[in-house]
Chain A
């Protein structure tokens, strides 16, 4: 599992891996929104939690098709399926690598983008915590969507249509955590629910994704 994880990381950081792309996209979203809604500090700081979370969602979506599509094209997936590591482990390792290359940079860079959007200071720790707890679920669910569509040519749009509805609970609880934090209320409940969803997703989705991969390998 470590081998798959490290290989995906290495591939992401090599030329053409596009590791910074999600971050750049996130920055663009945070730049465009003030143009769209006006730069009045009050509006921005009120919608900042939502923008951050929706931006994180879309940035994560960008690189999902890399998880399995490339391996499917060059035959690696066939070989991985015959390796001693069960496919569930492959899914987990690849989703983890995806998170490290897209989710983790977002978490680290979030304070900076929060500054751009006038996110209230008390909400900042909650933004970091909710992103750190929520983005692994995004990567894992994305891996499930990618596993479903690995056999579909030009499946990018289909992948988005399948995955985004699955993101709704994570988005709701994640944004709610930040919103409550910004309002100075106790965000423990949505945060606990967010963490619960992530745990359940990481525990259960690898099996569904591996089942979908096996179907697509036939």
Chain B
């Protein structure tokens, strides 16, 4: 049996239904443990207690990008192999990714305020996350605007492909545009090798927790989407003469 068998909605529902409770439980445990461990770490000698916001900020930022990657892969699978579950998974991941982006932006602002003395700086890193959020908004808006679900899946996939290229392009353009102004303001903490192990270990756990959380959310949302499509199909069949 090939992996593609799970793209069949019925099989997907059966498998995901079995996996989801365990996945959710694992995500909850990892989240509580990771964040608890993170908050128990000693304050940084330079940044004080504000450094602890890192345990939310960094995993959220990571998942904001990974969610878009996942959407890109799912869109490609839909375009190439026409697996309906794949298109719905991409749709399900978008709001989760958008929320992760918002979390990363908000926690970044809260973290940056005492560090840089302002809530928002047009740092390339911050700017590219704002741009990423705009791409999420456009993608979600297109999904909800197109009435025919097949057309919506096709159009959003094309948008996701083109958007990926331009999101990346914007990232480097932003780097070019505001190079050096705020460079390094937070990099020393983010770069793993220069971080004390006392922070690194809980951070890894938090990253795992956010990853599991993302998986659980996307799986649950995909199941909702499938149920919604099934309802629509049943209603359409009833309405038939």
Contacts and interface: CB of A to CB of B under 8 A. Distances in A.
Nearest to B161: A208
Interface string B103-143: 00000000000000000000000000001001101100110
B220 interface: no
Interface in A160-186: 161-162, 164-166, 168-169, 172-173, 176
Contacts of B22: none
Given A149-B142, A165-B134, A165-B163, 12 more contacts: A148-B159, A149-B145, A151-B148, A152-B146, A158-B141, A158-B142, A165-B131, A169-B170, A169-B173, A208-B161, A212-B154, A216-B151
Contact of B137 (A161, A173, A193): A161
Contact of A176 (B150, B158, B169, B176): B176
B73 to A, nearest CB: 18
Which are the 10 A-B pairs with shortest beta-carbon distances?
A172-B173, A169-B173, A165-B134, A215-B154, A169-B169, A168-B170, A162-B138, A172-B177, A152-B145, A166-B166
Contacts of A169: 166, 169-170, 173
B155 A216 contact: yes
13 contacts: A144-B162, A148-B142, A149-B142, A155-B145, A158-B142, A161-B134, A164-B134, A165-B166, A168-B166, A169-B170, A190-B176, A208-B158, A216-B155
Contacts of A218: 148, 150-151
Given A148-B155, A190-B176, A165 B135 contact: yes
A151 B151 contact: yes
A95 B145 CA distance: 24
B148 to A, nearest CB: 8
A144 B138 CA distance: 14
B146 A151 contact: yes
Contacts of B141: 158, 161-162
Interface in A101-123: none
A70 to B, nearest CB: 19
Contact of A166 (B137, B163, B176, B177): B163
A130 to B, nearest CB: 14
Contacts of B167: 165
Nearest to B139: A162
A128 interface: no
Given A155-B145, A218-B151, A148 B176 contact: no
Contacts of B151: 151, 215-216, 218
Contacts of A190: 176
A197 interface: yes
B91 to A, nearest CB: 16
A56 interface: no
A149 B167 CA distance: 20
Nearest to A216: B151
Contact of B155 (A173, A197, A212): A212
A9 interface: no
Q: Which of A149, A161, A216 has the most CB of B within 10 A?
A: A161
Nearest to B136: A165
B176 A193 contact: yes
B65 interface: no
Interface string A123-164: 000000000000000000000100011011001001001101
Contacts of A158: 141-142, 145
Contacts of B134: 161, 164-165
B62 interface: no
Interface in A195-218: 197, 205, 208, 211-212, 215-216, 218
A173 B170 CA distance: 10
B26 interface: no
Contacts of B131: 165, 168
A176 B131 CA distance: 18
Contacts of B148: 151, 218
A151 B154 CA distance: 13
